Amino acid sequence: MSMKPKPTSKISVFTFLLLLSFLIVVTRSSDVAVEAGSEEELDDLEQLLAVDDQLQEDRPEQQSEAATVSRAQRIVLELNGDNTKRLIDGSEYAMILGYAPWCARSAELMPSFAEAATGLKEMGSPVLMAKIDGDRYSKVASQLEIKGFPTLLLFVNGTSQPYTGGFSSEEIMIWGSAGHDEFVKAATLDNEIQFVETGSIDVAKLLFPNLKTNNVFVGMVKSEAERYTAYDGTCQTDKILEFLNSNKFPLITKLTESNTVRVYSSPVKLQVMVFSKPDDYENLAQPLEDIARKFKSKLMFIHIDISNENLAMPFLTLFGIEDAKKTVVAAFDNNLNSKFLLESDLSPSNIEEFCSGLAHGTVSPYYKSEPIPDNQNGTVVAVVGRSFDELVLNSRQNVLLEVHTPWCLTCETMSKQVEKLSKHFKGFENLVFARIDASANEHPNLKVDDYPTILLYKTGEKENPVKLSSKSSAKEMAVFINEELKPKDRSAKDEL
């Protein structure tokens, strides 16, 4: 039995995808076929086979070995000069055997072809299994490009596909299966995984020892802790590729310089990241694998060496904990662009509870914040992520907020203007000037894309702050503030 690795595969990651087909049929006999002169005969054939099924159910002891083989051969339609094109064009999948009555090899192949037809029918396959006497209908055989005997052809939507399979019933079933074409397409599109197909149950069990079926089977074999994964979806290219993308990674992926692109492009967008030193990770490895197994396909688990600044620092900075030295458990939802941080003790039970909350959407996103500062002195109030609600959104006063970052080249100039404005409006009790460093503080209601940004949060309208032009002079901003607050406050001076 042949095992054919995909020739277009460029990279091997110790992963194998298997397509298996195995069916036992009692014996072989001479060929007795049904001649199909019209499409109505397909219905007649189905009715005859239904009678066979009922007879076997009612009187199984009367079903002889010869009768079983005869039924298998009746499933194969006999094509002729009138019905060949119509039946092939009218079938999504059609497997055609071109034979000659005088050909010994054709005679040897027919029982296997009939057995394959029986197996495919029992599996509910939509494939039309048919044969044509190429010697008698030589013109039709020539049109089908049958140049010798026996010849096997697979037609997909009326288009002939090259047949490179074997000639046992199992191998014919693989190619006759409607899913095989989808399997081959998936193999062509995925260049990371080694694809293998076999018709031998013994070979299959060497690769997938837990195999418990004799029907068409697709499974993945990896060298990781979760070694065997069976596929239970439909034989469609996109579904197979989705299965591969969701299962090609180990239970816990170690992030490296070479696999970052693959990790970020994973279809599992909710990713749990464990930052730790290699020695510390050893104590967590087994509990983490047990947790990862419970949330497989829902969460992707990634280990990052916290001492590797190139890999760890970009993520830790997003949480404002770039100086962390001990183990950190965090998560990212790459679909919603949200991040999460486990702030409690890193026990296995707490990690599992954190992961369960992530999977069910009950964990609140994390927003980084500096410690709450002492605002006793200064005319401009320092706001951080944790004090944003209290000092801005829930404040009964109007708040003019300057949003800046340390790396912004023009922010220093704006800060000086805000300081000047705060002193100018010092006598107005209903107006507060505030400032927040957006590089170190976040809040779900603070969405700023450019810096500096000046926002005026008016009393009673805090959900819709007014944005001031960052190019305005101090005098222009004073006029703007005066106009915005005039209806509710006494008139403010324009002159600075």
- Residue of 25, 42, 55, 103 marked catalytic: 103
Evaluate whether 207 touches 232 at the Cβ level (below 8 Å).
Answer: no
Tokens of 307: 């001492």
What is the C-alpha to C-alpha distance for residues 55 and 52, in angstroms, rounded to an integer? Answer: 5
For 231, list phi and psi in degrees, rounded to 5.
-100, 125
Evaluate whether 63 touches 25 at the Cβ level (below 8 Å).
Answer: no
Tokens of 367: 């927003």
What is the C-alpha to C-alpha distance for residues 134 and 368, in angstroms, rounded to an integer? Answer: 76
Evaluate whether 130 touches 98 at the Cβ level (below 8 Å).
Answer: no
What separation in angstroms does the CA of 353 have from each of 124, 288, 291, 361, 385? 43, 12, 10, 12, 26
Report the largest interatomic distance among the alpha carbons of the chain, rounded to a whole angstrom.
111
Q: Is 408 noted as a catalytic residue in this protein? A: yes
**Nearest residue to 318 (alpha-carbon basis) of 302, 300, 340, 336:** 340
For 374, list phi and psi in degrees, rounded to 5.
-90, 115
What is the C-alpha to C-alpha distance for residues 302 and 318, in angstroms, rounded to an integer? Answer: 17
- Residue of 411, 414, 456, 485 marked catalytic: 411
What is the C-alpha to C-alpha distance for residues 448 and 381, in angstroms, rounded to an integer? Answer: 19
Tokens of 22: 């195995």
Residues near 68 by beta carbon (within 8 Å), at least 6 away in sequence: 25, 26, 27
Strands lying side by side in the sheet with 466-468: 380-383, 431-437, 398-404, 453-457, 466-468
CA–centroid distance for 204 within its chain = 26
Could you tell me the sign of the dihedral formed by the alpha carbons of 205, 208, 209, 214, in that order? Answer: negative
**H runs (alpha helix) in 304-410:** 309-318, 348-360, 388
Q: Is 411 noted as a catalytic residue in this protein? A: yes
- Residue of 130, 408, 418, 477 marked catalytic: 408
Evaluate whether 18 touches 204 at the Cβ level (below 8 Å).
Answer: yes
What is the C-alpha to C-alpha distance for residues 39 and 42, in angstroms, rounded to an integer? Answer: 6
Tokens of 349: 């039970």
For the annotated catalytic residues, the residue numbers are 103, 408, 411
